[in-house]
Amino acid sequence: MAKKKGKEKEEKVKQEKASPKPEESKKEAAPQQEPKGEFIPIYFMGKKYMVPATVTIMKAIEYAGYRFIRGCGCRGGICGACGTVYRLPGSYKINVGLACQTVIEPDMYLTQIPFFPANKARYDIDEEKADISTILDKYPEIARCVSCNTCTKACPQDLEVMDYVQAALQGNIERAAKLSFECIMCGLCASRCPAEIVQYNIGILCRRLYSKHMMKKAQHLSDRLKEIDEGKFDGDMEKMKKMGTEELEKAYAERDIEPV
């Protein structure tokens, strides 16, 4: 989770001190906007902070004075580091979201779940079969799925998590692979599952089984590897490497372009 600022004196590099930024570039592309307009209260792990109304949970936590160690990764909704759960006033519901993608709401009552214990099977993907036997062998607990759909409700990516778990359970590896493709492995599903299943690890196992054993291999790729091994391109490459800049510029300008 985040650490309140002030602890890391030694490693702090004060950028702004040493590099004056030209005024106009600031106007072009300032990374830090001065907060404008309304402030609203949010409760971060029970503690109230007043923060600018239009920002994401992640930026609000930082604005409140925290410097993340855990719970922050790509800041673009794809790495799964910042899974967050929250409640809103007047509702019993547990909501989920990624801190970097979810805009705050007044009186949001939240915490991040930056880590949740999960079991991961070890396997040699070359040796495993793309069928139900592998799934049951690696993750037998999948059979405990009670189809409650809590995992689906907990998915910040809006994936049909239960459907891919069920597909895997039925041995439909292709469907499980495709339905789980956009999984970012944040772990919120596993944190909420009453059957103690680790859905996202089943998802990646299915995707790897499907891609490795069910999709056809690219023939043109193995042909190309053979050509490279046989030295088919060595002569062209040598020639290219020997060209001076002028010659290269000419070849570059004259090269033909495959139609879009």
Residues 195-214 that bind other proteins (CB under 8 A): 204, 207-213
Q: In the complex, what is the shortest distance from the CB of residue 192 to other proteins, in angstroms, rounded to a whole number?
A: 20
Q: Does 52 bind other proteins (CB under 8 A)?
A: yes
C-beta of residue 164 within 8 angstroms of C-beta of residue 212: no
Residue with tokens 């000419």: 250
C-beta of residue 150 within 8 angstroms of C-beta of residue 188: no
Q: How far apart are CA 105 and CA 45, in angstroms?
A: 15
Q: How far apart are CA 250 and CA 257, in angstroms?
A: 15
Q: Does 245 bind other proteins (CB under 8 A)?
A: yes
Q: How far apart are CA 182 and CA 116, in angstroms?
A: 20
> Which tokens in the block code for residue 48?
């109230």
Amino acid at 161: V
Residues 140-159 that bind other proteins (CB under 8 A): 157-158
Region near other proteins per CB under 8 A, out of 41-49, 62-70, 88-96, 144-152: 62-70
Q: In the complex, what is the shortest distance from the CB of residue 256 to other proteins, in angstroms, rounded to a whole number?
A: 7
C-beta of residue 141 within 8 angstroms of C-beta of residue 194: no
Which of 125, 143, 146, 148 is close enough to bind other proteins by CB under 8 A? 125
Residue 73 or 139 having the CB closest to other proteins: 73
Looking at residue 21, what DSSP letter applies? Answer: P
> Which tokens in the block code for residue 27?
């106007």
Q: In the complex, what is the shortest distance from the CB of residue 32 to other proteins, in angstroms, rounded to a whole number?
A: 5
C-beta of residue 150 within 8 angstroms of C-beta of residue 193: yes
> Which tokens in the block code for residue 21?
């930024």
Q: Does 47 bind other proteins (CB under 8 A)?
A: no
Region near other proteins per CB under 8 A, out of 39-47, 51-59, 133-141, 165-173: 51-59
Q: In the complex, what is the shortest distance from the CB of residue 147 to other proteins, in angstroms, rounded to a whole number?
A: 25
Region near other proteins per CB under 8 A, out of 39-47, 144-152, 189-197, 233-241: 233-241
Residue 92 or 122 having the CB closest to other proteins: 122
Residue 150 or 203 having the CB closest to other proteins: 203
- Under 8 Å CB-to-CB from 256, ≥6 apart: which residues? none
Q: Does 230 bind other proteins (CB under 8 A)?
A: no
Residue with tokens 């079969």: 129
Q: Does 219 bind other proteins (CB under 8 A)?
A: yes
Residue 170 or 211 having the CB closest to other proteins: 211
